[in-house]
């Protein structure tokens, strides 16, 4: 590319700002030309902070800008599909935050639009780019662990969302476990054929009143024979707990949490260490930059994106099966 | 007690020898008066090695000895119930290896005999006495972890048994997972009400041909709301993998494997550490001595034994439910 | 400040580039107006890569630019003092890489020039800003460790420098251990009064032929009574080994190396982990950004810099004493 | 040997009891025939507790017993040499607790008596038999670490002795560091040629008043070029701290402390682990049994003992040099 690739960011909330900063700081070959937000002051502020030349209330100003090569869809979940389709139709490459949508039909419509327009689509499953999980993936791919038999994913948030949030988010399986479903597919490299969930509301009864659960043990059976178990909690008082362990015919690999330092200390009272990094912004900051770098790389070098539309669709199907399993108290086939 | 308590050991195989050595080495208040084995040379050799005055082929010589206060039933599983009942009827206290029997009726008959004769019964779930799991139990009891939400038990053997063994042992859930079922009950301090198993034969197809599985993820739902997941494999190439993690409203606790030393070393090729202690004799040796000490203590001080007949029965019920879950592909209520 | 602070970077080698990138990426309140290098193509390339408007061969173009508020002296060690003095005389704040100079007189001349001109001076002891060492410092300052009794610093490089380099660098104590002398002062918060060195040439005999050592155990006695021991090697085959341990009347604290991931894995061959991050650019990248941020902060808010001229002078005095101790085979008082 | 080897234990204090229990519990090929103590009730009680047939006030009853093959000299330090010589003269093999004596002449007299009488002598440097340090020794011997460059030994007691004790013990270097001097020789497999000590009294000023130090950093230079540093404290509030690290041309190895369990736990307040095992009885219990086993093995199979008379003498020479170094403030050659 002779000149810089130009992108627009749609949605100037927390994750939109993270991506904007990643591009500013680490991706010199990309220029952010515009940012939009339905709450215009957010867009304006982000533009000012990072020296982005244009800010809009209406995302269509971005989509209609012929100079813009790609858009990052960082708006609220219910608008992801519509904006992604419109962007694809205007021949923009699309980076879309997860989940694409809670409706399978809408997700499929996005995939169709992307395919028809010959543009790239990448879904924001950033954890695939985390240094710890990447190392586990490398160990698996090297063959050093043999055939996978059991995969264990621990994923616990430091504090629960508002009960109002779970009512619109699609619930824990769609807003939180969806990352773990993606991680399971990423590590196992096969498709889930059955889901069983044992779940409960143990953290906040208002979450239960809102029709959701906050604690779960989820068993996935993959087509290639691997068994996977995910354990989730909306509230780990000691902080964000994000670990995986994979066990195969030739060995196992596991990762511990990242911590602010490697310090340990000992007094008459005991032996002490650091709690995990607080939440996803602290833990996964580096992975957010890496995913955008690889999105840009896929566009520039015309390669498949590392997290495709199908990778966006499958976890939603697993999440819907998980919800059905809770409702019916039995394993559900996909 | 003015004079030493006297015990007889029935079964001079591996575990009988372990208990005999524990008593010789660590429990000066107990004298082993006799040992028996249906293969007499085993009994004779053990007697000679440890200076035990009497050795027999027929266990009834022990049961009928009026000087003997208690027996340790270390014979093959299919004889546990019969011998325990006969011993109880002769007013001997009984320490019985696990599982008591694969048949619920027979286990209940043992419990009945013990109760009618007013003797003590302790079941050989030695892991409750392991230093690591005891520490976790203490942390739970102290209240520092709050209400338990999720318990995770990893239990993997270093090598699979002969396929012939699984045909008579009752299968993986009865000969191996039974320890994990007991550990789950020990930690959670509640009863299981539902079991779901996802299992497979991944290690040795001959185990599958023998009608058993060798790899499993087992979800237990407890009456008090705790969810528990056990993952099992008959073969972890890196050694005996025995860990638990408990997660509650106020924190979590976990234990790592024991290793032969704390050494780590680093070269140009990488960073290295010790594999876990090889198998149950290495890992749990200390716990075998402790369980016998506490059995003796319960007799001497007329206290309840730390692993009662009910503790022997419940894991069998869970194991049977697990087998049904595999067969029917659904969660099974107890 | 209404407008951005402007800086010039003198020296476009490795560390000059590191600082330039830190400012570009993380310090939006600072603009790099110019870069110079006696090898002009280096300056030109760095300017082009980061969009720095001016590049020069002669550093005096920077020093004479009235718009420039501060300079970063990243040229070769033998030019640090001269450039710093000239810059101070032109009322520029000075960030000077370590060591300021190998001659105490020249360092003192820099301190004098800085003082007379009322400008700030910060020395590039970046390790004070490392997340791990900062945590140890916090624990010390909190009082949780009590009075310090023993401080241990391990500092080993992954590969030795060229023997030619040690001939001009001032030797291991001046180019490598100088960081450890600063770390010792930083942690202990007192002055060294005696130094004893046991040293040898074990890594590369050419280093010995060049009149230097490559392996050392250095004992420092501080005025406040703390004993400190530094162990150095020019070559740790497993990677950059950077650890400290502090031991006091109320406890101890220690830090492990940073690693590329937290992964550990186990196979039939053993248990494995990650080697330390390779060398100082990988390990200390974050600290380079932090030190510049704090330099800028000291200027903007007219505070003392976190690493003063005295902090630049003292390690040189300790280093000279260390060299004398090796030569004379006895402890040397400062 | 057709019949059991017979030993006598001289001194029924703490360490005498430890050895007696090790033999009773783990060494069936040895019979303890007698125990003596100048405070007779101690001997009597130990004999009763372990079923030892004879107990005496006067150790000569043991030495003169023709049936006794070997004696364990566990009396107070000032009697070690005299008793060992008398025992050797009566053709008894001798296991002597450390230090043999504070006087080099007396130690040499013991070595001479042992040699002239053709009996075995083993010194009670039990740490050589510890599972952790043995692993490090194996790694060194395997050549995996290459030539040793730096050895670091951390040795800190959980609480200081009475100041009265240090007045008679020979001081910290003779009663505590002597173990570390032996460990250094054991690991490095060469002889010390120079010692430098930086020491202080930081823990208890009464120790200083008694003429001793309680905190030290000791540098040893070995003939083979290895540098070794030992750091000692009489009081680590978090418990007994016993670690080594060895660094060589091909790698490093290190050991952590043993802990009562592998548990770690996390709450809102932080991350916690176990303190080290409290003191030497807890930490080194297994090594006490192993050293006696190997002493017995050396006698039965007529092999050199694993800790010879020379191994008993050398650390005393190092300790005397250490004291001189403190006194004169300079390195002392041996």
pLDDT tens profile C105-154: 999 999 999 999 999 999 999 999 999 999 999 999 999 999 999 999 99
Cβ-Cβ contacts under 8 Å, D273 against chain A: 264, 270-273
Report the Cα–Cα distance between both ends of chain A, in Å, rounded: 43
Chain C closest-CA separation from residue B214 CA (Å) = 19
Residues linked to residue D148 through DSSP beta bridges, in sequence order: D248
Instruction: Measure B272 CA to nearest chain C CA, in Å.
Output: 5
| Residues A64-73: tens digit of each pLDDT | 999 999 999 9
Return the pLDDT at D67: 97
- Dihedral over Cα of A26, A30, A32, A38: its sign: negative
> Could you say which of D221, D231, D330 has the minimum Cβ distance to residue C150?
D231
Determine, for residues D200 and C149 on separate chains, whether the beta-carbon distance falls below 8 Å.
Answer: yes
At CB < 8 Å, which residues of chain A contact B?
147, 149-150, 152, 156, 194, 196, 198-200, 202-203, 215-217, 219, 221, 225, 227-229, 231, 233, 235-238, 241, 247, 249-252, 329-331
pLDDT of residue B95: 98
Contacts of C221 in chain D (CB under 8 A): 198
Q: What percent of the residues of chain A are helix, what percent strand, and what percent coil, each to the nearest 5?
A: 40, 25, 35
Give DSSP secondary structure letters for B191-210: -EEEEEEEEE--S-HHHHHT
pLDDT at position D189, please? 98
Residue in A24, A131, A260 nearest the CB of C131: A260
Could you report the per-residue pLDDT of C59-85, keeping only the tens digit for each?
999 999 999 999 999 999 999 999 999
* Mean pLDDT for the stretch of residues C284-300: 95
Task: Please name each of the domains of chain B with its CATH number.
Answer: 5-119 (3.40.50.720), 128-283+315-333 (3.30.360.10)
Give me the residue label for tokens 């007379």: C116
Set of chain C residues whose Cβ sits within 8 Å of the Cβ of D228: 217
Q: What is the CB neighbour count within 10 angstroms for residue B234?
A: 23
Res A297 pLDDT > 70: yes
CB < 8 Å to A135, chain C: 260-261, 263, 274
Output the pLDDT for position A164: 85
Q: What is the pLDDT, as a whole number, of residue B31?
A: 93
- Partners of A217 on chain B (C-beta within 8 Å) are 150, 219, 227-229
* pLDDT at residue A1 in the model: 42
Report chain C's mean pLDDT, rounded to a whole number: 96
* Cβ neighbourhood burial of D211 (10 Å; 0-12, 13-18, 19+): exposed
The pLDDT score that the predictor gives to residue A168 is: 84
User: How near does any CA of chain A get to the CA of C1, in Å?
Assistant: 16
Closest Cβ opposite residue B250 in set D24, D261, D267: D267
**Are A215 and B194 a contacting pair at CB < 8 A?**
no
Distance CA B61, CA C116 (A): 103
> Quick check: helix, strand or coil at residue A202?
coil
Q: What is the pLDDT of residue D114?
A: 98
Give D-chain residues touching C331 at CB under 8 angstroms.
196, 198, 329-331
Each residue of B117-169: pLDDT tens digit? Answer: 999 999 999 999 999 999 999 999 999 999 999 999 999 999 999 888 887 88
Overall average pLDDT of the A56-67 stretch: 97
C202, closest residue in chain D (CA to CA): D149
Secondary structure class of B329 (helix, strand, coil): coil
Mutation pick from A260, A266, A270, A277 vs chain D, by most beta carbons of D within 10 Å, is: A266
Q: What is the pLDDT of residue C1?
A: 42
| pLDDT over 90 (residue A35) | yes
Rg (CA), chain A: 20
Measured from the Cβ of residue A147, the count of other Cβ atoms closer than 10 Å reads 13
Contact A234, A161 (CB under 8 A): yes
pLDDT interval class at A42 (50, 70, 90): very high
| Nearest-by-CA chain B residue for D27 | B25
pLDDT of residue B162: 87
Q: How far apart are CA A215 and CA A233, in angstroms?
A: 4
Q: How far is B334 from chain C (nearest CA, A)?
A: 37
Give the CA radius of gyration of chain B: 20
pLDDT attached to residue B196: 98
Residues in D whose CB is inside 8 Å of some CB of C read 147, 149-150, 152, 156, 194, 196, 198-200, 202-203, 215-217, 219, 221, 225, 227-229, 231, 233, 235-238, 241, 247, 249-252, 329-331
Inform me whether the pLDDT recorded for A80 exceeds 90.
Answer: yes
CB C211: neighbour CB atoms within 10 A?
11
User: A293: distance to nearest CA of chain B, Å?
Assistant: 29
Q: How far is A88 from chain C (nearest CA, A)?
A: 31
Convert the pLDDT of each residue in D55-95 to its tens digit: 999 999 999 999 999 999 999 999 999 999 999 999 999 99
Contacts of D252 in chain B (CB under 8 A): 265-266
Q: Which residues of chain B have pLDDT under 70?
A: 1-2
Contact B275 C266 (CB under 8 A): yes
Give the count of Cβ contacts less than 8 A between chain C and D.
103
Q: What is the percent of chain C where pLDDT is above 70? A: 99
Supply C39's token pair: 């090898």
- What single DSSP character describes residue B126? G
Hey, are the CB atoms on B237 and C270 less than 8 Å from each other?
no
How long a stretch of residues is chain D? 334
CB contact under 8 A, B263 and D132: yes
Cα-Cα-Cα-Cα dihedral sign, residues B190, B195, B196, B201:
positive
In angstroms, the separation between the Cα of residue B283 and the nearest Cα of chain D is 12
pLDDT tens readout for residues C193-209 = 999 999 999 999 999 99
Tokens of B290: 């402790």
Question: pLDDT, tens digit, for every residue of A231-266?
Answer: 999 999 999 999 999 999 999 999 999 999 999 999
Give B-chain residues touching D50 at CB under 8 angstroms: 28
Regions of chain D where pLDDT drops below 50 = 1
H helices of chain B, in order, are 14-26, 40-50, 60-63, 77-89, 104-117, 131-141, 163-169, 172-175, 177-188, 205-209, 280-300, 309-328
List, for residues A170-190, the tens digit of each pLDDT value: 999 999 999 999 999 999 999
Give C252-264 pLDDT, tens digit per residue.
Answer: 999 999 999 999 9
Is residue D110 within 8 Å of D87, Cβ to Cβ? Answer: no
| C contact set with A (CB within 8 A) | 24-26, 28, 49, 131-132, 134-136, 139, 144-145, 250-258, 260-268, 274
Give Cβ neighbours of residue D152 (< 8 Å, ≥ 6 apart). Answer: C152, C231, D228, D229, D230, D231, D244, D245, D246, D247
Chain A environment of D158 (Cβ under 8 Å):
none
Q: Per the CB < 8 Å rule, is B273 touching C271? A: yes
Give the residue numbers in A contacting D (CB under 8 Å), as ranges. Answer: 237-239, 264, 266-268, 270-275
CB A125 within 8 A of CB A179: yes
pLDDT on residue B326: 97
What is the residue-averaged pLDDT of chain A? 96
User: Using CA atoms, how far apart are residues D260 and B131, in angstroms rounded to an integer?
Assistant: 7
CB-CB neighbors (< 8 A) of C263 in chain A: 132, 135-136, 139, 253-255
Contact check, Cβ <8 Å, C198/D219: yes
Residues in chain A closer than 8 A to D270 (CB atoms): 238, 272-275
- Taking an 8 Å cut-off on Cβ atoms, the answer to whether C273 and B267 are in contact is no
Q: Which pLDDT score is estimated for C179?
A: 97
């Amino acid at each position: 590319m002779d000149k810089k690739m130009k992108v627009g960011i749609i949605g100037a909330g927390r994750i939109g700002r993270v991506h904007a900063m990643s591009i500013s700081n680490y991706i010199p070959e990309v220029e952010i030309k515009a940012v939009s937000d339905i709450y215009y002051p957010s867009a304006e502020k982000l533009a000012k902070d990072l020296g982005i030349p244009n800010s809009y209330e209406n995302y269509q100003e971005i989509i209609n800008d012929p100079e813009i090569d790609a858009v990052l869809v960082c708006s609220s979940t219910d608008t992801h599909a519509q904006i992604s389709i419109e962007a694809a139709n205007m021949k923009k490459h699309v980076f879309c935050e997860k989940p694409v949508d809670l409706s399978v039909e809408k997700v499929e419509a996005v995939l169709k639009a992307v395919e028809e327009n010959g543009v790239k689509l990448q879904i924001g499953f950033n954890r695939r780019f985390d240094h710890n999980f990447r190392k586990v993936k490398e160990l698996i791919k090297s063959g050093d662990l043999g055939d996978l038999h059991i995969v264990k994913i621990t994923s616990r948030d430091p504090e629960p969302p508002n009960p109002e949030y779970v009512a619109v988010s699609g619930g824990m399986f769609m807003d939180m476990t969806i990352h773990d479903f993606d991680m399971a597919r990423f590590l196992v490299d096969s498709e889930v054929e059955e889901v069983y969930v044992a779940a409960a509301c143990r953290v906040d009864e208002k979450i239960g009143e809102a029709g959701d659960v906050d604690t779960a043990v989820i068993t996935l059976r993959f087509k290639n024979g691997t068994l996977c178990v995910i354990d989730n909690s909306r509230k780990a008082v000691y902080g964000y707990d994000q670990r995986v362990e994979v066990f195969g015919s030739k060995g196992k690999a596991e990762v511990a949490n990242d911590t602010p330092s490697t310090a340990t200390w000992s007094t008459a009272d005991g032996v002490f260490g650091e709690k995990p990094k607080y939440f996803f912004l602290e833990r996964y900051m580096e992975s957010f930059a890496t995913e955008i770098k690889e999105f840009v790389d896929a566009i520039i070098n015309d390669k498949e994106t590392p997290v495709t539309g199908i990778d966006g669709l499958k976890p939603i199907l697993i999440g819907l099966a998980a919800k059905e399993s809770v409702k019916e108290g039995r394993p559900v086939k996909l």
